[in-house]
Structure 1
Amino acid sequence: MEQQVVIAGGGPVGLWLAAELRLSGVSVTVVEERVDIDQRSKALTIHPRTIEILASRGAHKPFLAEGLPIPGGHFAMLDDRLDFRALETPFPYTLALPQARTEELLEEHALALGVTIVRGHRVTGFSEHAESVTVHVEGLDESYELQAAFIIGCDGSRSTVRTAAGIDFVGTPSTVLGWLGDVTLDRPPHPGFSTFGPRGGVMVAPLPGGQYRVVGVSPDSLTTEWPGDLTLEELRAKTVAITGEDFGMRNPVWLSRFGNATRLAAQYRRGRVLLAGDAAHQHFPAGGVGMNVGIQDAHNLGWKLASTLRGWGPDHLLDTYHAERHPIGAQLIEHSRAQTALMTGFTPEGIDLRSLFSKMLATQPALNKALSERLTALAVSYPAPDRSAHSLTGSHAPDLAFTGSEKRLFSRLRPDSYLLLDLTAGALACRTRPGLAVHTATLDRPPAAWASVRATVVRPDGHVAWAGSDEDDTVLSAAVDRALAATHRTAAR
């Protein structure tokens, strides 16, 4: 059977995207070069918006069961931390879970939906045609081709797909080398330990199995020269220089350096080629946002690509993927660079800047909340089509509660349809069409911004496509029809 979509890369981004496509009935093959999941977990943090995304597909419970909830996060290793407890979400915390386990859970989710995952094979290139793509794959014993409608590069910062498509990856080279070690600590510090001074900064985070991640930067991190592979002796020496002790460090399972090379793909879509995750953006891993932004890329792309292939999405819909997510990639780069500057402020001036900013976070709740919403992606809002649009348009909808129902909004979202919420107690005429589900209800204790809303169209990814508050049912009904004319193809292909 011809595969409609081939995804290069079977990490968290590729796996979530594949699952989204399968939920909409699209056939998918994921080609992953690694034979086994890499047990060296680059990412440890799942942010609140990502948990919401998992919850919108009913896939969040295993992550909640295994992840360690942490009610805050750090910004540039400042002494005063971000407080997530005031965030407007059912999940006001991050989950600490090694990327290897995240991948295992996402792979189980994808396989249960019928995704084909081919391990030990790699995409080497492709040939694009008017109506299809021929994907070239190198297997364990032979090379072969897959036919697809689209190919998606989820294959990391050195993306073969991006390179083959000729998409520029614009940015700056690495000038900072952070370091980390996953080790056993006989005398671990208190939870959430972090320290920073003229000699550098160190954070320590617990890992499953009694291990700890020791991660830091130091003045000698400011280099463009590769100093060689990190050793346990070097990690110990750096940690002692900064903290005064080594915490009984021994038995390393992973030692690594990481740079601040920063790049953004010029295009997230070129014809039948699309990019997501690290293939689209590369940055210093500050705040644990990388994997999360990649999964959010996939969540934006999945339903748009599926609705295009299924024939009910309008022609321009797939182009909105770049229009919406490229600016988010640029924001990611901005705050990663800002954190990098603060994390390498070893001079007296840098120390004072850090101290000032840290005190502001501790004493100004509005600033703390604004940064928390940005770091966790809860602040992401896509541009409205025009100035007359409702203020909620483009924002992501909260997990609204409905009177007399235990099911909240997230559990009603589907990847294969928009959701029309009729909040008029049934005054709107019933509408049926492909790619649309309708729910008539009243809101239970709605947030202030939603108190006057009488109808809304929510996208499959949970963002508001349209909202209306007009008290005249006839006017409101006409506005709903105009909204659906913009979100859906007027006639099936």
Structure 2
Amino acid sequence: MDAQVIVVGAGPAGMMLAGELRLAGVDVIVLERLAKRTGESRGLGFTARTMEVFDQRGLLPRFGEIAISNHGHFGGLPVDFGLLDGAHQAAKSVPQSQTETVLEEWVLGMGCDIRRGHEVLAVKDNGNEVEVEVRGPEGILRLTSGYLVGCDGGRSLVRKALEFDFPGTPATLEMFLADVKGLDLAPRMIGQTLPGGMVMVGPLPDGVTRLIVCERGTPPQRRETPPAYEEVSAAWKRLTGDDISHGEPVWVSSFGDATRQVTEYRRNRVFLAGDAAHIHLPAGGQGMNTSIQDAVNLGWKLAAVVQGRSREALLDSYHTERHPVGERLLMNTRAQGLLFLSGPEMQPLRDVMSELIAYEDVGRHLAAMVSGLEIRYPVDGGRHPLLGRRMPGLKLSGPTRFADSTEVLHSGRGVLLDLGDNPELRRRAAGWESQVDIVTAELGPLPKDSPLNATTAVLVRPDGYVAWAAPGSHGDLPMALERWFGPRR
């Protein structure tokens, strides 16, 4: 075979997946239709959960100084994200182009084979391998791999070629997104509706202004090329009365409110991740962030199976865990779209929602939903409150060389935190050292309500989620280790 895994698409999801696979030593080829990065930045910033993901791989310093904020919204209604517990706040104004640059440099540094200017024409799952027909600079070629992952966006050729079911609702409107220089406009939050639609203004670095424009009643168009800036400025003038035609567009794009999700994230040897698996109205910057988290969930599992360390049944948990996350994503983005894109008839609901958000529990619930902090994967049995949730970032002391519970995940391996210096625990974990690092440590002072009080051991998956904890898990440690990391060696 040409590679153990082929990844189609070099966007944030594809690059993150390639990085996770290379961390585990998997041979990866990334195929990208475009000859170079576009420089466009549809995604802007990271949710708190994505900040955690980058931190657990030691990637945050590569982004330089990151502006963070507790200010967010749900459907244009202000939400205080400071209500959330966690080591990180959301990052603002990190352009997607920078995210793609950082991730590409990371995976290239690990020897990943990225082939730009290679357009996938056809995909065939032969049962024991996947065959890809590709048009590259040197003509048509065929590549084979053990597995293939489509990270090739909302119009995914991989999804279409293998006829994945993609139910949902079509677009009902068209919105313009433009980054423009030479404009002097006051910031305007999303959700400040106008009689004919909605506009948003957000300042970006280097004198660039981000505009979003939506005219109600404008039918969606299936475009093969980006809209002209003249369309954006004309719509802006109809809605606001202001002339912005003198602006200098950096780039212009359009999108709609189509909402769809594949019924299966895995079919035999082919997987879908990111926008290839789910499309929705951009609301709260969740699309890119969810896509990156799809990749992190899949990457370590696929690596373990490819290398023969875990049984293939482990791959089924990718759909089991991430499909419900996608469903929640589609639900909340549709709800947000109703709030900030509808006309005056929706104002009573906006007023009621504003009253509800003022209650701390409601605000925390909505903030966690948009941030991805509400995610809890199903775990077989057990009463420990952290089972299925992310391991919180906590300082470590004692005999360990690691500063905190995030640093122990930098290598992309599983971690067994022995918090009681228990030789018997370490003896029972013997045989899994090739996949799991056993770290004996102590936690610093914990609040009285911390879920880790009285906890003596925690098994953390490579993606940062807790698979077993003591006391509080049904089943012995070796059972959990075998479930997630394969048979004892």
- Structures share fold, TM-score greater than 0.5: yes
**CA–CA distance in 1 between the matches of 2:27 and 2:305?**
14
**CA–CA distance in 1 between the matches of 2:138 and 2:8?**
19
- Unaligned runs of 5+ residues in structure 1 are 471-475
What amino acid maps onto 2:394 in structure 1? L
- Deviation by residue 1:359-388 (Cα, 9 ceiling, x = unmatched): 332x212211111111111111111213x3
Q: 2:275 is matched with which residue: 258, 275, 278?
A: 278
1:96 match: 93
**CA–CA distance in 1 between the matches of 2:469 and 2:243?**
56
Q: 2:468 is matched with which residue: 457, 466, 469?
A: 466
1:376 match: 371
2:207 match: 210
Q: 1:450 is matched with which residue: 449, 452, 456?
A: 452
1:402 match: 396
Shift of 1:479: 2.4
Q: Secondary structure at the match of 2:406?
A: helix
Shift of 1:87: 2.1
What amino acid maps onto 1:465 in structure 2? A
Q: Secondary structure at the match of 2:115?
A: strand
Q: 2:408 is matched with which residue: 412, 415, 421?
A: 412
Alpha carbons of 1:249 and 1:77: their partners in 2 closer, same or farther (altered >3 Å)?
A: farther
1:56 match: 56
Alpha carbons of 1:193 and 1:309: their partners in 2 closer, same or farther (altered >3 Å)?
A: closer
Q: Secondary structure at the match of 1:149?
A: strand
What amino acid maps onto 1:281 in structure 2? H
2:107 match: 110
2:304 match: 307
**CA–CA distance in 2 between the matches of 1:246 and 1:194?**
21
1:58-137 to 2 correspondences below 5 Å: 58-63=58-63, 65-78=64-77, 81-137=78-134
Alpha carbons of 1:328 and 1:366: their partners in 2 closer, same or farther (altered >3 Å)?
A: same
Shift of 1:420: 0.8
Q: Find out whether 1:480 has 2:477 as its counterpart.
A: yes
What amino acid maps onto 1:29 in structure 2? I
Q: Secondary structure at the match of 2:334?
A: helix
Alpha carbons of 1:364 and 1:2: their partners in 2 closer, same or farther (altered >3 Å)?
A: same
**CA–CA distance in 1 between the matches of 2:73 and 2:330?**
17
Shift of 1:166: 2.1
Q: Find out whether 1:436 has 2:423 as its counterpart.
A: no
What count of residue pairs does the alignment treat as equivalent? 480
Q: Secondary structure at the match of 2:479?
A: helix
1:32 match: 32
What amino acid maps onto 1:365 in structure 2? E
What amino acid maps onto 2:457 in structure 1? A
**CA–CA distance in 2 between the matches of 1:478 and 1:13?**
34
**CA–CA distance in 2 between the matches of 1:44 and 1:294?**
14
**CA–CA distance in 2 between the matches of 1:378 and 1:166?**
32
TM-score normalized with structure 2 length: 0.92
Alpha carbons of 1:316 and 1:139: their partners in 2 closer, same or farther (altered >3 Å)?
A: same
What amino acid maps onto 2:276 in structure 1? A
Alpha carbons of 1:192 and 1:261: their partners in 2 closer, same or farther (altered >3 Å)?
A: closer
Q: Secondary structure at the match of 2:83?
A: coil
The answer as to whether partners of 1:85 and 1:93 remain within 8 angstroms in 2 is no
What amino acid maps onto 1:396 in structure 2? R
**CA–CA distance in 1 between the matches of 2:462 and 2:368?**
21
Alpha carbons of 1:73 and 1:489: their partners in 2 closer, same or farther (altered >3 Å)?
A: same
Shift of 1:144: 1.0
Q: 2:354 is matched with which residue: 352, 355, 358?
A: 358
The answer as to whether partners of 2:198 and 2:213 remain within 8 angstroms in 1 is yes
Shift of 1:37: 0.3
Q: Find out whether 1:195 has 2:196 as its counterpart.
A: no
**CA–CA distance in 1 between the matches of 2:310 and 2:410?**
15
What amino acid maps onto 2:376 in structure 1? S
**CA–CA distance in 1 between the matches of 2:4 and 2:483?**
25
- Deviation by residue 1:79-130 (Cα, 9 ceiling, x = unmatched): xx22222322222122321111211111001100111000001122233233
1:393 match: 387
- Deviation by residue 1:115-159 (Cα, 9 ceiling, x = unmatched): 100000112223323322222211123111222110110011111
- Deviation by residue 1:390-448 (Cα, 9 ceiling, x = unmatched): 33211111112223576111110156532111111335342332211111112113351
The answer as to whether partners of 2:76 and 2:190 remain within 8 angstroms in 1 is no
The answer as to whether partners of 1:428 and 1:477 remain within 8 angstroms in 2 is no
The answer as to whether partners of 1:70 and 1:96 remain within 8 angstroms in 2 is no
Shift of 1:275: 0.6
- Deviation by residue 1:218-257 (Cα, 9 ceiling, x = unmatched): 3234x35679975545433543555564579611222332
Alpha carbons of 1:261 and 1:191: their partners in 2 closer, same or farther (altered >3 Å)?
A: closer
The answer as to whether partners of 1:198 and 1:351 remain within 8 angstroms in 2 is no
Q: Secondary structure at the match of 1:457?
A: strand
Shift of 1:186: 3.6
What amino acid maps onto 1:456 in structure 2? V
Q: 2:142 is matched with which residue: 145, 153, 162?
A: 145
Shift of 1:12: 0.7
The answer as to whether partners of 1:10 and 1:30 remain within 8 angstroms in 2 is yes
**CA–CA distance in 2 between the matches of 1:215 and 1:310?**
46
Alpha carbons of 1:86 and 1:180: their partners in 2 closer, same or farther (altered >3 Å)?
A: same
Q: 1:425 is matched with which residue: 421, 424, 427?
A: 421
Alpha carbons of 1:85 and 1:282: their partners in 2 closer, same or farther (altered >3 Å)?
A: same
1:234-383 to 2 correspondences below 5 Å: 234-240=231-237, 242-243=239-240, 245=242, 250-347=247-344, 349-361=345-357, 363-383=358-378
Shift of 1:344: 2.3
The answer as to whether partners of 2:120 and 2:132 remain within 8 angstroms in 1 is yes
1:167 match: 164
What amino acid maps onto 2:346 in structure 1? G
The answer as to whether partners of 1:194 and 1:204 remain within 8 angstroms in 2 is no
Alpha carbons of 1:128 and 1:411: their partners in 2 closer, same or farther (altered >3 Å)?
A: same
Q: Secondary structure at the match of 1:4?
A: strand
**CA–CA distance in 2 between the matches of 1:478 and 1:321?**
22
What amino acid maps onto 2:317 in structure 1? T
**CA–CA distance in 2 between the matches of 1:247 and 1:164?**
42
Bigger drift between 323-332 and 296-305 goes to 323-332
**CA–CA distance in 2 between the matches of 1:195 and 1:60?**
33
Shift of 1:456: 1.2
What amino acid maps onto 2:53 in structure 1? I
TM-score normalized with structure 1 length: 0.91
**CA–CA distance in 1 between the matches of 2:18 and 2:8?**
10
**CA–CA distance in 2 between the matches of 1:128 and 1:85?**
47
Shift of 1:35: 0.5
**CA–CA distance in 2 between the matches of 1:193 and 1:156?**
25
